[in-house]
Amino acid sequence: MTFDGKIVWITGASSGIGEALAKAFAAQGAQIILSGRRTDALEQVAAGLQTDSLILPFESTNYDALPAKIEEARNWKGKVDILVNNAGISQRSLALDTHPDVHHKIINVDLLAPIWLTQLLLPHMIAAGGGHIVGISSVAGRVGVPLRTAYCAAKHGLIGYMDALRAETENLHNIHVTNILPGSIRTNVSRNALTKDGDSRGKSDAVIDNGMEPAECARQILEAVFNHVPELIVAEGPEMAIAKLRQSDPEQCFAMTSAMGAQIAEKYEAGDDD
């Protein structure tokens, strides 16, 4: 497996899965465009890479600024071979008491921003003769997970967009599309999740803290991209089982998540959201 000569653009590259992907792609010969909001964090990631990198910070929902960022990314090496839409934000709150602004922000960041970046880059990939677009969704993009209604909506939507895009472009334009559905990966996703009022949660979950290492998640993603796999679930144990159950036996899946949701909602209302 090698990505020698490939230009890989990763959003949300300052930490977690994005940082692990940058290191993994660079180790396989790719040159990396690192995007995120925090320039200092991106510089730290760049310092640890084995190949050339471009630090390209931007706010993913600043849509007016995106065309210029697209040009800067393309002008760096003349092309972008692989776009990894990884930037995102999660949620920890019940639908019943979540402010609408929280839904707006999460759907804007997790769904509309990657769609628009993809839309702007797509014509250039087609003109170059092909490319690969990766959408980092979630197991929560396949299964309705309690305390994550807005997040699930966005991640389900991202899968739908990517599936339709694949249908339109794979055979006609040589644009490969891969959906990635991570389960619990050891990152700051829970700590940075939004609460019902839009504040950062500020603490992690035990299931995340005991989750898969980002480096292993990245290894599996690279293998899927290299082999042009349309969709990959990156999860273990019960998370993998329930993601597969959603497809093979939806009624059983719904019964399980309803039972789980009732327990989690009761704990949450009692002040325990771990």
Catalytic residue among 63, 151, 161, 268: 151
Give the closest residue to 193 by CA, choosing from 208, 183, 180.
208
DSSP 96: G
113 near 37, Cβ under 8 Å?
no
Q: Is 151 a catalytic residue?
A: yes
In three state form, how does the secondary structure of 175-196 look? Answer: EEEEEEEECCECCCCCCCCECC
Rounded to an integer, what distance in angstroms lies between the CA atom of residue 95 and that of residue 135?
A: 25
Greatest alpha-carbon span in the chain: 56
What is the dihedral sign for C-alpha 148, 154, 156, 162? negative
Closest CA to 85 of 21, 11, 26: 11
Half-sphere exposure for 236 (CA within 13 Å, toward CB): 12
Query: CB under 8 Å, gap of 24 or more: what pairs does 66-70 form?
Result: 66/116, 66/117, 66/120, 67/120, 69/35, 70/117, 70/120, 70/121, 70/124
Beta bridge partners of 131: 175
Q: Report, as residue numbers or ranges, the catalytic residues.
A: 151
